[in-house]
Amino acid sequence: MPAAKRPPAFVPSLTQVADFEWRLDPAPGMRAEAVVFGGEELVRGIEAEALRQLMRVACLPGLAGRVCALPDMHSGYGFPIGCVAAMRPEDGVVSAGGVGFDIACGVRTLLTDLDAADIAPRIGPLAEALYRAVPSGVGRGGGPDLDARRLDASLAGGAAWAVAEGYGDARDLGRIEWRGALPDAAPDEVSPEARRRGQGQLGTLGSGNHYLEVQAVEEILDARLAGGFGLRPGQVVISVHCGSRGLGHQTATDFMARMRAEAPRHGLTLSDPNLACAPASSDLGRAYLGAMRAAANFALANRQIIGHLVRGAVRNLFPGAGGMPLLCDVSHNLCSTEAHAAGGRRARRLLVHRKGATRALPPGHPELPADVAPFGQPVPIGGSMGAASYILAGAPEAMARAWGSACHGAGRVMSRSQAKKRWNGKDLLAELERRGIFVRTGSVADVAEEAPGAYKDVSAVVAAAVGAGLAAAVARLRPLACIKG
């Protein structure tokens, strides 16, 4: 007797409701509207599983309003990458799958007084100096070992702790979200195994899509905003993309297992085991939030230390680099407590999950530092290796349309394993060098994972975010040198 055929997996359908905005057609179990932002070509390229994941997120209890997918959306674990969902604390859930494994992964961008022409003759030595200064790759890394007391201090104090330890300048803190440390962190909720994995990893890049990139401002797209951010044509800037390393990954692993195990006790049926969650008001929900905030602070301390190491390496070669002020430091994978108005109600505190999404506060928002408040929050958008990156600014419409959020990068169209089968790392490095982009890496083979063809067109992603009213385009950056694990 032939085996019964499985019915085809349900694929949610989309209806366009505005330029650059599409609504997921209602499906059984959805408790909130789900929308996708993007141009027609980007939307056509979204995988069916990413749309199914978005639909499942829209079925979670306690949603305060619409669930949003940004133009760099692609499938992930539980939540799709490029997804934003806001929960009511009293009856909603907090999801470890909605934050992801690399807690508070994000981008830090430093400004310099250098021009691209200043560094062109010495771009190779600069890349080598940065590679030596900032440890990268899989494993322990080369950062400072911390005893239990200092590790707890880093988990509680984030970048502010790092500054107190002599890494960077207190002026940096004004350009970091939450002034460098999420409040209400609970270091005691971080497991011994997560702590062990974090030892020696502060001040290290890691591997995968993490990078340290030397860039030049290729084009100013809004002169007023660029002037407000201190950007000018030809200027050299340096961006760092990394997160909470093994400590954050283990924290996510620990709590996803606990959330799966406790789901029946809370009356939760998980349509996807990676959509692990717990009631935000439960002991487990509060424990996760405390541990996640501690891991996020570890990520903020990590980027603060890396920024200090980068400044030292650049100034050794180029004394004219200036003070190298921090433009911004923003996180992409987080659940943060924020004030939002929803459904015509007065602003209230909500738990906003952003997975592969950047907070993009509009001009005048009270949480912005005074010197950038007239212009909106700076939002760095990383392109694929060898492609352009962008600086955007938060726009007023983003608060109502996407919980004050914008995209975070180009967004993958191909898995890492698929990319390694299609491209050869050595050939890719040679091609980038022919284009004048110097890459320094500890694994030539793994470079293929980050081939430009494995990602969406970042310019199309940015155009969609701007067209949807989520952000304003400020400047386009071109890569000069890239450091990868």
CA distance 43 to 72: 10
Of 308, 353, 365, 408, the catalytic one is 408
CA distance 49 to 75: 6
CA distance 128 to 107: 21
Provide CB contacts within 8 A for 20, sequence distance 6+. Answer: 37, 38, 39, 71, 464, 467, 468
Query: Is 408 annotated in the active site?
Result: yes
CA distances to 98, 261, 293, 309 from 95, rounded to whole Å, are: 5, 14, 13, 34
Strand 67-74 vs strand 21-24: parallel, antiparallel, or unpaired? unpaired
CA distances to 129, 297, 364, 438, 484 from 132, rounded to whole Å, are: 5, 25, 41, 15, 12
CA distance 445 to 417: 11
Q: 3-state class of 30 per DSSP?
A: coil
* 8 A C-beta contact, residue 54 and residue 34: yes
CA distance 316 to 321: 9
DSSP 317-359: H-GGGTT--EEEEEESEEEEEEEE--TTPPPEEEEEEEES-EE
Q: What is the 3-state secondary structure (H, E, C) of 385-435?
A: CCCCEEEEEECCHHHHHHCCEECCECCECCCHHHHHHHCCHHHHHHHHHHC
* 8 A C-beta contact, residue 74 and residue 50: yes
* 8 A C-beta contact, residue 224 and residue 465: no
Active site residues: 408
